[in-house]
Amino acid sequence: MRGINKFFQFTGLGLMALLALCPASASASIWLSQADPASGCCTSSNSPDKTFYIVSGEYPKGALYTSSTSGSEDTVAYAVDPGGKIHDAYVDGSAIHFRAPLQGHHWLFYQQRELRGDTLHVSLAKYRFYNQHGDAGESILKEIRGRTIDSKFGRPPVEVIPFEIILQKPLQDHHISCCMYSGDTVRLKIFHDQQPLSDVPVKVVTDTGWSAALRPGADEMVSFEIPRNTYVDTTKDKHHKQHLLITADYAVDAEGSYQGQPYRRVHYSTTEPIDFGPSPLEWAAKMPAFLVVFAVILVCGFGVFLYRLWIRKRRLASA
């Protein structure tokens, strides 16, 4: 009996040791945010000087993240302007600073490399944002009309990024092309070394807890419909935004050396957040509903008027 008790004691200690050896952030994601998760503060969208934050955790809960290799060649950041030109960004701990040179859509990339055992881990994070510095009015008008030459959808992969999520033009039942809304069908492709992949697990998580595990179809496209999973009063908060995070992982057998140490496998992970709002079809549906109610009231009122007129005529005829 004493031997059995010792067996279970040693087994429990062994499991605890294994859990202790596993890093707490093994299943955590790294993503980019325009706001500090602690204070919620962010830089002005009207300024060309931008600051973004590196966040890590179980989405949507996260804290500022500083890589152990921050400031070295293992941690780099790039900004891509609307014309496709690549600019270096400065990584300062958990913040990324850079100057957006043009108005329009920009893409920010963060890349971190770390060798663990015989596997080289390449963690990437991407963020798309619209820079309003400059003549933003004309740019927004062109974007709404869908005539921008620097379209944010379906652009080619960035050469310096080995593993990337690229959004394709979404399927929408409305005519507002500048933004994403619940009910829209998001479409995306995954690229490795500028080539599309057809068998990559993709995970989508919203800030309210909805999640989905997806894989590309025969056309290498991943599609999902943005759910409506919160019900806010849009009459009081017309600019209410929700958020979701797209995560993709991919591993390849590839031998090489990194900082003088050999590796046999490379594991890639990447994330991209998306902001979206309540469907504009819900707002549009209010007007037809009002017109229907108004028409019913009008018909009923006219019916009552005719009925009373008929009664009055009968009384006059009988008199």
Q: What is the mean pLDDT of the chain?
A: 80
Residues 295 and 226 in one domain: no
Residues 163 and 293 in one domain: no
How many structural domains compose the chain?
2
In tens, the pLDDT along 199-251 reads 899 999 998 889 999 999 889 999 999 987 666 565 566 667 889 999 999 99
- pTM, full prediction: 0.74
Span of 133-142, 271-280, 299-308 with lowest mean pLDDT: 133-142
The more confident residue out of 293 and 151 is 293
Would 8 be classed as within a structural domain? no
Give percent of the chain above pLDDT 70.
73
Residues 136 and 234 in one domain: yes
Residues 180 and 196 in one domain: yes
DSSP assignment of the chain: -HHHHHHHHHHHHHHHHHHHHS-TTTT-EEEEESS-TTT-----TTSSEEEEEEEEEETTEEEE---TTTTSTTEEEEEE-TT--EEEEEEETTEEEEE--SSEEEEEEEEEEEEETTEEEEEEEEEEEEE-TTTHHHHHHHHHHT--SS-SSSPPPPTT-SEEEEEEEEE-SSS--SS-BTT-EEEEEEEETTEE-SS--EEEEETTS-EEEE---TTS-EEEEPP------TTT-TT--EEEEEEEEEEEEEEEEETTEEEEEEEEEEEEEEEEBS-HHHHHHHHHHHHHHHHHHHHHHHHHHHHHHHHHHHHHHH-
Asked if pLDDT for residue 19 goes beyond 80, the answer is no
What's the pLDDT band for 286 if we cut at 50, 70, 90? Answer: low
Would 135 be classed as within a structural domain? yes
Residues 208 and 251 in one domain: yes
Residues 307 and 181 in one domain: no
In tens, the pLDDT along 138-147 reads 444 545 444 4
- Average pLDDT, integer, range 113-130: 94
- pLDDT, residue 146, reads 45
Would 62 be classed as within a structural domain? yes
Domain that residue 172 falls in: 26-278
Residues 156 and 288 in one domain: no
Residues 158 and 55 in one domain: yes
Contact 164, 191 (CB under 8 A): yes
